[in-house]
Amino acid sequence: MAAATPPGYQDVVQIEKKKAAADAHSSGSSSSCVHGAPASSVTPDAGTGWPIDSYTYIRPTNNNTANWTFYGVEQTFYSQHLISGPHYMGLTHATDPYGAFKCQYTCNADAKCVSYFVSYEKVGTNEEHMNCILFDAIIGPENFVKLGDNSTTIGAGGYDRLCVA
């Protein structure tokens, strides 16, 4: 069964592969977990009271991508590693990071899930919602693609399972 094309990919205008992996993906990483800081301490909304302690936060990282708003998961990675999703949640980007907090439970419920990606779709409309997409492989910063500036999809980040010490 072929994986569905993720929403917003018709807006892809540029695919930039990052050459260096993020620190969380350096030595000591495996295909099922990474070493790094819990997302609760490193997300843009750290300290909000919505703990995400079993995952680390991943986003586009090099100078060309640090300020991306409209981004998604690269199509090849998406197709090869999709477990399930997008899981629709009736949340808007104004509720962030609550959506990522809720998505971790969807990932925890699937034994194959080692990472997830959160995005807000149809932003700026009364149909805005959050999608939670589960993967069976670690998401690296090189697995993100920029969507067009006219996209209605806001990427809220990837979350990779942390290795238990």
Total-model pTM: 0.77
Q: Quote the CA–CA distance of 11 and 144 in Å, as a whole number.
A: 14
- Nearest CA to 161 out of 137, 142, 133, 132 is that of 137
Q: Retrieve residue 148's tokens.
A: 């067009």
How would you list the strands of the sheet with 12-14, edge to edge?
A: 12-14, 144-147, 71-73
3's tokens? 């994986």
Contact 85, 131 (CB under 8 A): yes
Rg (CA), the chain: 14
Q: Name 55's bridge partners.
A: 161
Answer yes or no: are the C-beta atoms of 16 and 145 closer than 8 Å.
yes
Domain boundaries, the chain: 12-20+30-161
Per-residue pLDDT for the chain (165 aa), expressed as one digit of tens each?
444 444 433 332 222 222 223 333 433 344 789 998 888 876 655 556 688 889 999 888 765 555 678 889 999 999 999 999 999 999 888 876 788 888 999 999 999 999 999 999 999 899 999 999 999 999 998 899 988 878 888 888 899 999 986
pLDDT of 111 reads 94
Which DSSP helix (H) or strand (E) runs through 71? Answer: strand 71-73
